Amino acid sequence: MKIGFIGLGIMGKPMAKNLLGAGHEIVAYDIVKECLDTVVGYGASAAESSADVASKCDVIIMMLPNSPHCKAAIMGDGGVLEGARKGTLIIDMSSIAPTASQEIALACAEKGVRMIDAPVSGGEPKAIEGTLSIMVGGEKADFDEAYDILKVMGTSVVHCGAIGAGNTTKVANQVVVALNIAAVSEAFMLASRAGVDPKTVFEAIRGGLAGSTVMESKIPMILDRNFAPGFRIDLHIKDLTNALDTAHETGSPLPLTALVLEMMQTLFHDGCGQDDHSALAKYYEKISGYKIKE
């Protein structure tokens, strides 16, 4: 199948590569030439704009940073809606505000273009492996049509409800992940300052109720002081901001999320925005003047 792919950053590049590996033809576009050149090197063909992608493909995947980027790429000058034919299916895999997904989908519907929101969880490692968790909102028929494509990139592909439900599920996911990273950072700082080897603590508690995918993934990074980004702090700030905006719209209290967001903002202003979100541990190191692991 010929598939358009717009947005070739940390996540988009390996996702497009996996689609190529599965035998799909990819027409790719990114405003950053180096990113586009990389994916062309994998075997994709290059488009000149989002509209150009849409003119050549009936299925278009988007993987962009945030709501304004998606609105511009779809609804703006040179955007998808300028080139798309009636019946085109947009699979927006960006993590954006649920209300933005609904706004974009409405604009698409006015042009006879279909859209589902399908944000992902798993970061760069699972994007490379093709084992992402994918949360989808939109019409069930459109989900069914996209399912085999999505399964190339993820092992878990779940229809969550109407348009916007995918991104609502994603912001809930990001709340759980952020609070979990903060919790393990706090706990391992406690253990370290009390004189217990954090590696020993990890081995002792990982198999019990405190164990989690977050602990398995992030504690080794913290102990190795490896903060190379699988998912950057600045992107998690964006997701938690979307979570709080959604909470304010729906009347859902998120006091712990607000606190962790402020911790991340502190790190961002300390120059750590490009670090992996496991660098939340640095916040505890900053306020305690002590490193969890030298």
pTM assigned to the model: 0.91
Check whether 242 has a pLDDT greater than 90. Answer: yes
The Cα–Cα gap between 153 and 149 comes to: 7
DSSP states along 34-73? HHHHHHHHHTPEE-SSHHHHHHH-SEEEE--SSHHHHHHH
Q: Can you list the domains of the chain with their CATH numbers?
A: 2-162 (3.40.50.720), 168-288 (1.10.1040.10)
The Cα–Cα gap between 159 and 165 comes to: 9
The Cα–Cα gap between 62 and 50 comes to: 10
- Identify the active-site residue in 13, 126, 170, 282: 170
Reply yes or no on whether 71 is catalytic: no
In this predicted model, what pLDDT tens digit does every residue of 249-269 receive, in sequence order? 999 999 999 999 999 999 999
Distances (CA, A) of 246 to 87, 107, 167, 239, 240: 30, 21, 10, 10, 10
In this predicted model, what pLDDT tens digit does every residue of 45-90 receive, in sequence order? 999 999 999 999 999 999 999 999 999 999 999 999 999 999 999 9
